[in-house]
Amino acid sequence: GENVEQHPSTLSVQEGDSAVIKCTYSDSASNYFPWYKQELGKGPQLIIDIRSNVGEKKDQRIAVTLNKTAKHFSLHITETQPEDSAVYFCAASKISGNTGKLIFGQGTTLQVKP
């Protein structure tokens, strides 16, 4: 069935260091991979996404890479800041036919220590 595995479950870094979160998906038909950031008491916020026709996408300090062959995708945050502390979720979806259904990973709690 559809499944997304996310690692690590917790990640602690010093301010200024980089953070990497990795996800693996099971459904080879998945072709859309968003990342969400959830702060305490708030809903998930879309921070970046990638489609299967692209291998890498960058937005300022955040980048996402996709390896379709291995069914892996990763989130990279450089020059981390305390305000990056939150829970991060990866997700996978099939754009055609099942639009709207996101399969989420279990989440990674990122702590950035000042």
Partner 1 sequence: KAGVTQTPRYLIKTRGQQVTLSCSPISGHRSVSWYQQTPGQGLQFLFEYFSETQRNKGNFPGRFSGRQFSNSRSEMNVSTLELGDSALYLCASSLGTTGTEAFFGQGTRLTVV
- In the complex, the residues that contact partner 1 under the rule CB under 8 A are 32, 34, 36, 41-46, 49, 51, 89, 91, 95-96, 98-107
CB of 27 to partner 1, least distance (A): 13
Instruction: Please identify, using beta-carbon distances, which residue of 80 and 90 lies nearer to partner 1.
Output: 90
Give just the sign of the alpha carbon dihedral 46, 20, 72, 62. Answer: positive
Instruction: Please identify, using beta-carbon distances, which residue of 35 and 80 lies nearer to partner 1.
Output: 35
| d(C-alpha 34, C-alpha 16), whole Å | 24
CB of 89 to partner 1, least distance (A): 7
Instruction: Please identify, using beta-carbon distances, which residue of 97 and 114 lies nearer to partner 1.
Output: 97
Q: Bridge partners of 66?
A: 73
The answer to whether the peptide bond before residue 34 is cis (omega within 30 degrees of 0) is: no
Instruction: Please identify, using beta-carbon distances, which residue of 78 and 98 lies nearer to partner 1.
Output: 98
CB of 15 to partner 1, least distance (A): 27
CB of 16 to partner 1, least distance (A): 30
In the sheet where 56-59 sits, what is the strand order? 4-7, 19-25, 72-77, 62-67, 56-59
> For 83, phi and psi rounded to 5 degrees?
-75, -5
